[in-house]
Amino acid sequence: MNITVVRSGGFAGIRRTWRVVVNDESSAAVDEWLHIVDACPWSDAVDLDGDGVPDRFVFVVTVEALPLESASTSQLHATLPESRVVGPWRQLIDRVQASDRADT
Amino acid sequence: MRCTIVPPYLLSRLARLDEAGLGGVAAAAHQTLMQTEPLRETRQAVAPRAAPPSTASPRPERTISDAGGREVLPGSVVRREGGPESGDAAVDEAYDGLGATHALFADAFERSSIDGRGLGLDATVHYGSRYDNAFWDGERMVFGDGDGEVFRRFTLSLSVIGHELSHGVTQYSSALEYQGQSGALNESVSDVFGALVEQHSRGQAASEASWLIGEELFTDMVEGAALRSMKAPGTAYNDDILGVDPQPAHMRDFVDTRDDNGGVHINSGIPNRAFFLVADALGGYAWQRAGRIWYDTITAGGLEPRATFVQFARATVEAARARFGATSAELDAVQRAWASVGVEL
Ligand SMILES: [Zn+2]
């Protein structure tokens, strides 16, 4: 399973990507990530784009190669403005960024 | 800190205007000149035009709050108008930057604060943890401390502070929708006035200015001079991690993207360069002629919320004609600038 966070906009307008490849061999690791992924309201945030607030970020979150037994689809995708990055979205994005930073 | 001499070209230009019988224009230009810092001391010597009712507050009314590393607004107030320096660099930079921004709009454009009615200027610093951004939330400016790896704290750059407050000016004058071309114009207007705040504060003529936005923000680890270059969009940085500055300088390179609200921070390079070309052609202090035209454009009330580059360009042409005349160097510079960046009038 891969989770990608693309952040665009912001004052700098610099596009940055964070990515984590979850080891599918480790069911503990997969479960931990799925716990957060499943908590995010994906259908509410498919195509939100920006919120019209100058210089705030826009996030695109993509989950690929989801374990099939856990979902009806193998891919999830959401676009959301920074003001909507709260709760589980916030947890997911923070965690992907932190894991990617730790890797490099 | 401020310029203390009157640019000679302006005095001779004013004299020429009077000879040409354009008394009204000369008087208006003279009035603009009188509002700028350099002539403050001699202001009493000339009969000033009565101040419009909106210029009620000649002084800013600043309030700086500290979010303490949390993403909660407004945070707690740490410095108010007239209060002593706090000793916290971010607080004092924000305070001074708000003052410099207020000074540009008051002195160059006779505008009282961002709404033209003396609205208090509020800012929050130390927003979030490692927060790589600054933004205008509709009521206040918000500044992060940066992650320390790519970005330093955002209050370090006066052009950034001026940029954020100018989003407020745009909101109260021509509410350009923050998406696509109108969003890129909204961004460009903020870069234009952000750069002018810095130039006005330093007393720099157009030829002396860097025309860079956010020159102080990158750490030493980044290969780059600034976030954006108005003079040469696309050249501000070229870094292993951040990539190459994606800004176009001409319509043929306009970037179609869904990122960034439709590339608002990317395609702003085109109108940014147009402004630079006008300022460069006219010389002297950019806020006095090029800046005046752009200010007139956003405050004249003729811009649609979804204005395109072409519509905005036409509005600047009208503003230049109205203020400086149909045969003026200003009008000529504006028309040439848009042609050079590929915006067909
Ligand atoms: Zn902006």
B295 within a domain of the structure (yes/no)? no
B259 within a domain of the structure (yes/no)? no
Q: Does B270 touch chain A if contact means CB atoms closer than 8 Å?
A: no
Instruction: Please state, in angstroms and rounded to a whole number, the distance separating the CA atoms of residues A56 and A82.
Output: 6
B268 within a domain of the structure (yes/no)? no
B137 within a domain of the structure (yes/no)? yes
Nearest to B134 among A49, A55, A60 (CB): A55
The ipTM assigned to this model is: 0.86
Q: By CA distance, what is A18's nearest residue in B?
A: B241
Total domains, chain A: 1
> A11 CA to middle of ligand 1, Å?
5
Instruction: Please state, in angstroms and rounded to a whole number, the distance separating the CA atoms of residues B141 and B135.
Output: 6
A11 contacts B134? CB cut-off 8 A:
yes
B227 contacts A12? CB cut-off 8 A:
yes
User: What's the burial of B227, exposed, middle or buried (CB within 10 Å: 0-12/13-18/19+)?
Assistant: buried
A55 contacts B136? CB cut-off 8 A:
yes
B210 within a domain of the structure (yes/no)? yes
Give pLDDT tens digits along chain B (345 positions). 223 233 333 333 333 333 333 333 344 333 333 333 333 333 333 333 344 444 445 799 999 999 999 999 999 999 999 999 999 999 999 999 999 999 999 999 999 999 999 999 999 999 999 999 999 998 999 999 999 999 999 999 999 999 999 999 999 999 999 999 999 999 999 999 999 999 999 999 999 999 999 999 999 999 999 999 999 999 999 999 889 999 999 999 999 998 899 999 999 999 999 999 999 999 999 999 999 999 999 999 999 999 999 999 999 999 999 999 999 999 999 999 999 999 999
Q: What predicted TM-score, i.e. pTM, was given to this entire model?
A: 0.85
B300 within a domain of the structure (yes/no)? no
> B222 CA to middle of ligand 1, Å?
21
| Structural domain that includes position A51 | 2-103
B150 within a domain of the structure (yes/no)? yes
Q: In CATH, what number is assigned to the domain containing residue B210? A: 3.10.170.10
Total domains, chain B: 1
B179 contacts A58? CB cut-off 8 A:
no
| Structural domain that includes position B168 | 1-246
Distances (CA, A) of B48 to B27, B52, B89, B112, B273: 10, 11, 39, 17, 35
Q: Which two tokens stand for residue B230?
A: 């108005």
Looking at the complex, report in whole angstroms how far the Cα of residue A37 sits from the nearest Cα belonging to chain B. 23
B310 within a domain of the structure (yes/no)? no
Q: Give A-chain residues touching B167 at CB under 8 angstroms.
A: 54-55
